[in-house]
């Protein structure tokens, strides 16, 4: 019997050198359809702004398109950066998506700006925007607008949509102990961004569980770990295909992120000792190899953290490489990768 947790996919709609944002979004559609066909549980898209390598600027818009092009996979935001948006607008958007595609919508909420300071000001039309300091209250406002009345704003008689028959699943996302603690205190599902977070994932997950308080939407802790993974027939091929992801990781940390380079260009670049040291301290980048090697790495992460689900991300120049990776990983993981039923859910699915 397969006891491994379900697998899902996180996508940034990355733009390759010499390609357009339209090409990137078409690749995201191809990837979502492959994940749907292979039985992955969720397909989430990120929110980033003013970044030449990322076409995923508006998760709800892209989710609507992907939901129309797939059959059963859950579509989600990984995530909506709440300081950039009014809570009422976010609640309305995701309630509308849920009404269109019942029981297929996830609302992942983060507190990072997802961009630089100048772009953040342009998004919010004022310095500081909606305020990271008020983030917990804004999360509760979204929940209240979706029917979880734990915010005083319910006195305003606002609802995100009339006569809702189902609700999106709400997740709190983060890469630190703060987000884990907050998710636990609010009684929300939690997803830890191990693919770029620097904290010990086991410690973060334990912090979430130790702070968990049952809520109107969740009886017990439920956590997902997002990590990078890429498979190919041989370890050498996988390492070669992962070259663009390594260059992207270095560019993100230098603030000079351009379009995603080809694996040929990545292989030809000579890395400095400092860059090699940076890559050495990115543990998620190491889940690269044959399907057996990658599943061993993922099994170890599950054993280490007790994650209820895993979410796989990864950057390749050609979408065909990533589709092939998902296919091989699905088979190595045990066939239908969405096996298992989430625990701790109330009768409603918020």
Q: What is the structure's pLDDT at 334?
A: 87
165 by DSSP, 3-state: which?
Answer: coil
182-200: average pLDDT: 93
Q: Taking a C-beta distance cutoff of 8 angstroms, is the pair 300, 4 a contact?
A: no
Instruction: Return the bridge partners of 311, or none.
Output: 8, 226
Q: For the chain, what's the residue count?
A: 350
Render pLDDT for 282-337 as a digit per residue (tens, 0 to 9).
Answer: 755 679 999 999 999 999 999 999 999 999 999 999 999 999 999 999 999 986 56
227 by DSSP, 3-state: which?
Answer: strand
220 by DSSP, 3-state: which?
Answer: coil
Strands 105-110, 169-174: pairing is parallel
SS3 content of the chain, % helix, strand, coil (to 5): 45, 15, 40
For residue 50, is pLDDT > 90?
Answer: no
Domain 7-333 has CATH 3.20.20.70: no
- Please state, as a whole number, how many other Cβ atoms lie within 10 Å of the Cβ of residue 299: 13
Dump strand ranges (E) for 185-222.
189-193
Whole-number mean pLDDT of the chain?
Answer: 88
145-169: average pLDDT: 75
Q: Taking a C-beta distance cutoff of 8 angstroms, is the pair 100, 130 a contact?
A: no
Q: Where are the domains of the chain?
A: 7-333
124-134: average pLDDT: 61
The closest of 50, 52, 57 to 80, measured between CA atoms, is: 57
Query: Which of the residue ranges 71-80, 210-219, 245-254, 297-306 would you say has the lowest mean pLDDT?
Result: 245-254
Query: Which of the residue ranges 89-103, 134-148, 165-179, 286-300 would you say has the lowest mean pLDDT?
Result: 134-148
């Amino acid at each position: 019997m397969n006891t491994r947790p379900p697998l899902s996919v996180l996508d940034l709609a990355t733009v390759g050198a010499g390609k357009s944002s339209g090409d990137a979004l078409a690749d995201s559609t191809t990837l979502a359809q492959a994940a749907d066909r292979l039985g992955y549980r969720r397909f989430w898209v990120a929110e980033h702004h003013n970044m030449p390598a990322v076409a995923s600027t508006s998760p709800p818009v892209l989710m609507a398109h992907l939901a129309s092009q797939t059959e059963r996979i859950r579509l989600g935001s990984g995530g909506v950066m709440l300081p950039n948006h009014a809570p009422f607008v976010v609640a309305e958007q995701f309630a509308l998506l849920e009404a269109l595609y019942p029981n297929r919508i996830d609302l992942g909420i983060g507190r990072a700006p997802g961009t630089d300071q100048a772009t953040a000001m342009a998004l919010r039309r004022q310095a500081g925007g909606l305020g990271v300091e008020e983030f917990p209250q804004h999360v509760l406002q979204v929940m209240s607008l979706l029917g979880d009345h734990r915010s005083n704003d319910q006195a305003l008689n606002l609802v995100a949509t009339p006569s809702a028959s189902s609700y999106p699943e709400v997740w709190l996302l983060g890469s630190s102990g703060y987000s884990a603690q907050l998710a636990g205190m609010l009684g929300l599902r939690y997803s830890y961004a191990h693919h770029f977070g620097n904290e010990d994932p086991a410690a973060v997950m334990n912090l979430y569980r130790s702070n968990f308080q049952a809520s109107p939407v969740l009886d017990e802790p439920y956590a997902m770990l997002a990590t990078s993974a890429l498979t190919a027939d041989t370890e050498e091929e996988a390492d070669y295909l992962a070259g663009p992801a390594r260059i992207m990781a270095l560019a993100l940390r230098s603030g000079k992120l351009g379009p995603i380079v080809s694996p040929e260009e990545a292989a030809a670049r000579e890395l400095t000792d400092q860059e090699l040291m940076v890559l050495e301290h990115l543990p998620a980048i190491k889940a690269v190899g044959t399907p057996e090697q990658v599943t061993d790495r993922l099994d170890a992460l599950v054993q280490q953290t007790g994650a209820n689900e895993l979410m796989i991300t990864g950057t390749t120049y050609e979408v065909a490489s990533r589709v092939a990776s998902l296919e091989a990983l699905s088979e190595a993981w045990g066939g239908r990768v969405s096996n298992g039923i989430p625990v701790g859910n109330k009768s409603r699915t918020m």
